[in-house]
Amino acid sequence: MARRAEPPGHAHISLEVNGEPVEVSFPPHKTLLEVLREDLGLTGTKHGCELGECGTCTVLLDGQPVLSCLVLGVAAAGRKVKTVEGMARGPELHPLQRAFADLGAAQCGYCTPGILLAAEALLERNPRPTRQDIKEALAGNLCRCTGYIKIYEAVELAAAWMRGEDAAPPEESIYGRR
């Protein structure tokens, strides 16, 4: 079968995005962030500073969190990319997503996709993180709304659920002190 002709100067790569094989072509100076959003229609990954200074563009590359604004699309050839769109299983949210929603760990939500992926990579390596482990793992993700406390609590709650524990959020984190 004949290959679709590429515009001159375009790169054509195969990679795996959220578990599915994907082929895409684009000018070689595009970042992975731009390729995901503009060529693959995956706008869940957000763009913030685009200079490595905020973490909102975080995706997993071969399981490791990276800043997609500073990775070239061509450098993802043959590799596995995971974005926030790959977290839910069908209609069922990932435990981290559920915990973030339940605890109000997302306010404007702009930092959330990057934080969810950074947190997922942490829990993959360390199912029982301390508060300090969580702070360190998320030290590359800025949030201008929540003040981070809700985010740490949500990661702790999700971690407990993922370990199979029947955990509930502390009443205080939902209703405040009564």
Partner 1 sequence: MLRLPSFRYLEPRTLKEALRWKSESGPESMYVAGGTDLYPNMKRRHQEPKVVISLARIRALRPKGRSRKAASGLTLAPMMTLTELVESEGIRESYPVLARAAELISTPILRNMGTLGGNLCLDTRCNYYNQSYEWRKAINFCLKKDGAICWVAPSSPRCWAVNSSDLAPVMVAIGADFLLVGPEGERTVAAADFYQNDGIDYLSKHPGEILAEIRVPPRDGWEATYWKLRRRGSFDFPVLGVAAWVRWEEQKVAEARIVLGAVASQPQPVPEAAAAIIGSRLDDEAIEEAALAAFRPSKPMDNTDFGLAWRKEMTRQFVRGALKELRSKLVE
- Kindly list the residues in this chain that would bind ligand FAD in the complex (CB under 6 A): 51-53
CB proximity list for 1: less than 8 A, separation 6 or greater: none
| Both tokens assigned to 17 | 């995005």
φ, ψ dihedrals at 147, nearest 5°? 80, 10
**Contact indicator for 23, 9 with CB cutoff of 8 Å:** no
Nearest approach, Cβ of 20 to ligand FES (angstroms)?
Answer: 24
Binding of ligand FES by 108 (CB under 6 A): yes
| Residue span binding ligand FES (CB under 6 A) among the ranges 72-80, 81-89, 143-151, 155-163 | 143-151
Binding of partner 1 by 130 (CB under 8 A): no
CA distance 95 to 149: 18
Count of residues making up the chain: 178
- Which partner in ligand FES, ligand FAD, partner 1, none is near 140 (CB below 5 to 8 A by kind)? partner 1
- Residues 33-52 binding partner 1 (CB under 8 A) are 34, 47, 50-52
How big is the chain by its Cα radius of gyration, in Å?
Answer: 18
- Which partner in ligand FES, partner 1, ligand FAD, none is near 48 (CB below 5 to 8 A by kind)? ligand FES
Candidate residues 85, 110, 140, 148; the one interacting with partner 1 per rule CB under 8 A? 140
CA distance 10 to 14: 13
| Both tokens assigned to 151 | 């985010």
Candidate residues 17, 24, 26, 30; the one interacting with partner 1 per rule CB under 8 A? 30
82's enclosing H/E stretch is strand 80-82
Candidate residues 10, 12, 29, 128; the one interacting with partner 1 per rule CB under 8 A? 29
Taking the C-alpha atoms of 51, 55, 60 and 64 in order, what is their torsion angle to the nearest 10 degrees? 90
Q: Which residues bind partner 1 (CB under 8 A)?
A: 11, 27-31, 34, 47, 50-53, 55, 58, 64-67, 70-72, 74-75, 118, 136-137, 139-142
Q: Catalog residues that contact ligand FES under the rule CB under 6 A.
A: 47-50, 52-57, 67, 69, 106-112, 143-146
